[in-house]
Structures are given as C-alpha cells and as structure tokens.
Amino acid sequence: MKPTFSISLQTIEAFFEDGEVVNVETLRLKKLIPRRVPGGIKILADGTLTKKVSIEVHHFSKTAEEKLNDLGISFKKV
C-alpha cells in the first residue's frame, strides 16, 4: 500500500480562506504537501474548521467525514 500524506482540518483552517478549493493543486501551491504523493492525500479530523471551503482529495478519515457533514462543508473523494 502506498503511503498517504495527511492534512488536518486545523491546517486547512490556517492556510485557506472562505470559498477556496482544497485539492492537490492548491495544497502544492501553498507548499503544504510534497511534490509527489503516491498514496494520495488524507484529511484528518484534528482541529476545527470554520471556513467554508470545498475539499476534493483522495481520502478522508471517518471522523473527518462526520465533522465535515456536521459543518455543512462540501467534500468529495477524487
């Protein structure tokens, strides 16, 4: 199994603004992930998220999915 790179909700809160899309491209532009991530990106539920962003990555922890649903944040697996 290829290793994933994890990003917490706290990191998204710190580096993204309302209305932004969180995806591989924007995470790279903000230098939050390495150039190559063979196993994809995984969102973890650590921290809080108050910004209304849209998240499009490969994996989500179950707790992160629950938290994002409760917050009404748009997310999808790509």
What does DSSP assign to residue 65? Answer: H
The domain made up of 5-77 has a fold known as: Ribosomal Protein L15; Chain: K; domain 2 (3.100.10)
pLDDT at 3: 86
pLDDT at 68: 98
pTM: 0.94
Q: Per-residue b/e over 52-61, b at no fewer than 16 CB within 10 Å? A: ebebbbbbbb
Residues in the chain: 78
Q: Which helix (H) or strand (E) holds 25?
A: helix 24-29
Residues of the chain predicted below pLDDT 50: none
pLDDT at 2: 85
